[in-house]
């Protein structure tokens, strides 16, 4: 028999009385623990659809989802598009190159134009922090933030939390290390908000220049060596070195970075034996993680991608229809 969704009294109460009553999905910071649980439970039920002979349900027939990407993306955009299509929504993808965009004004113009075409949900990625919030305030459509600058990337954090929950049963009480360029990482920020809310102990690690000052206020512990950060870790989340976001080189050389902060067969030894290794992709092989580890038995990197589709299906479903 398939595993049935657990029904703790706390969760039942939420499902019966609260639901996800918000128009937009802008960041993990605004979400309650109950809302995160609801999204993850829904995503878990949606996973099965992708294994059917006919990988499509009719739920969002006649709805239109626009993905509006001002930054390069392969997996996030494809994941949203696949998620929307598996729910029978129509999808339109719009790419805009950042170079031709004057921040703010053009974004608003674009948004107004799209609104006139009457879509139901707009998924936006933009290099400016707060861009999804601007659209959400301006438009009646549901807005999903697919990454706004170095601010938040909520669907990535949700798919990460789904993966952790599946592998470890629960997020509560786990020790989770996030390693890399924390300062430039919206993935790290969204995950820190989410994982702390869900009761994990979060340790962050990276070169001093890449750790924002005062980040301890978010509830994390800062370590400056891999050995300290990974000690007894249940989960290690490696971040992509984001060369495109760094204005100047923040470290002397890639080689030196890799020597100190790469996840490899030696550095992983301080973690627990059953540690899972995560990475939001795309991977810089040999920089933040070796191929041996990325492709090894502890890696759940491809499961993260699979879960991404389920989490995005859940969000599109939960944000659709009804009285707004």
Partner 1 sequence: MKRKKVVMDAEGIERSLTRIAHEILERNRGTDNLIIIGVRKGGVSLAERLREKMSAIEGAEVMLGMLDITLYRDDVLSTERRPEIEKTYIPFPLDHKRVVLVDDVLFTGRTIRAAMDALMDFGRPAVIQLAVLIDRGHRELPIRADFIGETLPSSLWENISVNLTDTRSADEVVIEEG
Binding site for partner 1 (CB under 8 A): 1-5, 15, 18-21, 41-42, 44-46, 48-49, 52-54, 56-60, 87, 317-318, 320-323
Residue 9 vs 322, nearer CB to partner 1: 322
Instruction: Select from 60, 97, 92, 98 the least CA-distant residue to 77.
Output: 92
Residue 19 vs 173, nearer CB to partner 1: 19
Residue 51 vs 253, nearer CB to partner 1: 51
Q: How far is the CB of 246 from partner 1 (least distance, A)?
A: 41
Yes or no: say if 141 and 147 are a contact pair by the CB < 8 Å rule: no
Q: How far is the CB of 323 from partner 1 (least distance, A)?
A: 5
* Cα 165 to Cα 194: distance, rounded to the nearest angstrom: 12
Q: How far is the CB of 144 from partner 1 (least distance, A)?
A: 15
Q: How far is the CB of 302 from partner 1 (least distance, A)?
A: 21
Q: Tell me the backbone φ, ψ of residue 90, rounded to 5 degrees.
A: -85, 140
Residue 297 vs 322, nearer CB to partner 1: 322
Q: How far is the CB of 53 from partner 1 (least distance, A)?
A: 6
Bridge partners, 91 (sequence order) = 65
Residue 48 vs 292, nearer CB to partner 1: 48
User: Please, is 105 exposed, middle or buried when counting C-beta atoms within 10 Å of its C-beta (0-12, 13-18, 19+)?
Assistant: exposed
Q: What's CA 77's distance to the chain center, in Å? A: 12
- DSSP-derived letter for residue 118 is -
Task: State the alpha helices, DSSP H only, in 198-298.
Answer: 226-230, 254-261, 291-294
């Amino acid at each position: 028999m398939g595993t049935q969704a657990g029904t703790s009294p706390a969760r039942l109460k939420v499902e019966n009385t609260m639901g996800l009553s918000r128009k937009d999905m802008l960041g993990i910071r605004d979400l309650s623990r109950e809302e995160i649980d609801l999204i993850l439970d829904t995503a878990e039920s949606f996973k099965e659809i992708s294994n059917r002979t006919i990988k499509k349900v009719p739920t969002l027939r006649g709805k239109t989802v626009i993905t509006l990407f001002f930054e390069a993306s392969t997996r996030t955009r494809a994941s949203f598009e696949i998620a929307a299509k598996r729910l029978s929504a129509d999808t339109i993808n719009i790419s805009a190159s950042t170079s031709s965009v004057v921040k703010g004004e053009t974004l608003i113009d674009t948004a107004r134009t799209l609104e006139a075409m009457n879509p139901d949900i707009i998924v936006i990625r933009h290099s400016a922090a707060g861009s999804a919030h601007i659209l959400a305030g301006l438009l009646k459509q549901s807005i999903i933030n697919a990454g706004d600058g170095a601010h938040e990337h909520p669907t990535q954090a949700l798919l990460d939390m789904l993966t952790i929950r599946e592998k470890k049963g629960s997020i509560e009480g786990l020790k989770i290390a996030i390693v890399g360029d924390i300062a430039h990482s919206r993935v790290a920020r969204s995950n820190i908000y989410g994982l702390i809310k869900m009761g994990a102990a979060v340790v962050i690690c990276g070169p001093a220049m890449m750790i924002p000052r005062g980040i301890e206020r978010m509830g994390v512990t800062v370590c400056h060596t891999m050995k300290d950060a990974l000690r007894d870790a249940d989960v290690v989340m490696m971040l992509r070195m984001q060369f495109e976001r760094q204005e100047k080189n923040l470290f002397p050389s890639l080689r030196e970075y890799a020597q100190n902060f790469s996840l490899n067969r030696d550095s992983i030894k301080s973690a627990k034996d059953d540690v899972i290794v995560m990475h939001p992709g795309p991977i810089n092989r040999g920089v933040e993680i070796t191929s041996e580890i990325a492709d090894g038995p502890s890696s759940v990197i491809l499961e993260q991608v699979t879960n991404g589709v389920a989490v995005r299906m859940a969000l599109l479903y939960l944000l659709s229809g009804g009285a707004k």
